[in-house]
Amino acid sequence: MDIKQVGVVGCGQMGGGIAQVTAQAGYAVIVSEVNEELLSKGLAALNASLTKAVEREKITPQDKEAAISRIRGTTSMKDFGNCDLVIEAAIENLELKRKIFAELDSVCLEHAILATNTSCLSIIEMAMTTKRPDKVLGLHFFNPPPIMKLLEVVRTVATSEETLETCRSFGQSLGKTVITAPDSPGFIVNRLMVPQVLNAIRMLEAGVATREDIDNGMVLGLNHPIGPLALADLVGLDTFYYIGNAMYDEFKEPQFAPPVLLEKMVAAGWLGRKTGKGFYDYKKN
């Protein structure tokens, strides 16, 4: 199947980034938000991201204008009616995602593929709210989507071979390296990475080392581009909390259980960069 028009549900950090890279690859994009205020905020952030890419000479001003011209914002799910592929990028809440998939199924054309950007939730549970479970799968982009080169294509037990191959080709057309993962909590990357971040939090909680020493140890000792605590701040502490809980519920392994410190920080609203405070303070920067 030829993908020409792509829909993105959500214009936050991930949804806006997905809309950007998709438009830059030449696709017509419709991106939605729940109200005009959030939509304007998301589109402004997307525009700022493209402006930064121009300033860094990653793209030309003409490239930016071409990408912007391909993006249309909306607050109505009905506007996804002519999309060949719709990627859901809402918050990590299974019931919300199930509701979105049921609504998309009712407005989208019969051939349309429905995808989720979830990091850990059960995709088959979203698929079964639709009449097209064979056309549902995960397209897990990494943060920030315009920079990160990996795309996990996540296949459920019901995903057809045609859907899988169409989305693998779509990912490659975005310039991504595509890997195929099973519909199991954490998929490939998060199943490896989340325990490492949670263990770093436990070390800090137990007073084994300072946040700086933990992060510097990973950056300078293992050549990681960013330390685990700084990474948690970048991705969002609430995201790690939700992913850890989902993985622990599935596997019952202590390595996936969120530490008490993480739970308390999330309760306090210290979610990392997006709130200005996490393991590090960003309000002064």
Higher pLDDT, 92 or 197: 197
Identity of the amino acid at 214: I
Beta strands in the chain (DSSP E): 5-9, 28-32, 71-74, 85-88, 113-116, 136-141, 150-155, 177-182
Residue of 245, 234, 239 whose CA lies nearest to 279: 234
pLDDT in tens, 156-188: 999 999 999 999 999 999 999 999 999 998 899
The one catalytic residue in 119, 162, 165, 250 is: 119
Q: Spell out the domains of the chain, with CATH numbers in brackets.
A: 5-182 (3.40.50.720), 189-267 (1.10.1040.10)
| Contact yes or no for 211/280 (Cβ under 8 A) | yes
Measured on CA atoms in the order 111, 15, 120, 249, is the torsion positive or negative? negative
Residue of 284, 239, 243 whose CA lies nearest to 265: 239
| Contact yes or no for 12/42 (Cβ under 8 A) | yes
Q: Name the pLDDT band for 214 (thresholds 50, 70, 90).
A: very high
Please tell me the distance from the alpha carbon of residue 182 to that of residue 136, in angstroms, as a whole number. Answer: 13
- What are residue 26's phi and psi, to 5 degrees? 105, 5
Measured on CA atoms in the order 27, 102, 138, 91, is the torsion positive or negative? positive
Q: Indicate if 117 belongs to the active site.
A: no
The one catalytic residue in 190, 216, 224, 263 is: 190
Q: What is the mean pLDDT of the chain?
A: 96
Do the strands 136-141 and 113-116 form a parallel or antiparallel pair, or are they unpaired? parallel
| Contact yes or no for 137/115 (Cβ under 8 A) | yes
> Is 284 buried (19+), middle (13-18) or exposed (0-12) by CB count in 10 A?
exposed
| Contact yes or no for 118/97 (Cβ under 8 A) | yes
Average pLDDT, integer, range 126-135: 98
Q: Name the pLDDT band for 45 (thresholds 50, 70, 90).
A: very high
Q: What is the pLDDT of residue 143?
A: 86
Q: Indicate if 224 belongs to the active site.
A: no
Q: Indicate if 95 belongs to the active site.
A: no
Higher pLDDT, 243 or 169: 169
pLDDT in tens, 77-98: 999 999 999 999 998 889 999 9
Q: Indicate if 111 belongs to the active site.
A: no
| Contact yes or no for 5/79 (Cβ under 8 A) | no
The one catalytic residue in 95, 152, 223, 263 is: 152
Give CA separation, 49 vs 46, 62, 68, 245, in Å: 5, 15, 11, 32
Query: Which own/partner pairs from 53-58 qualify as long-range (CB within 8 Å, at least 24 positions apart)?
Result: 53/146
The one catalytic residue in 35, 140, 161, 224 is: 140
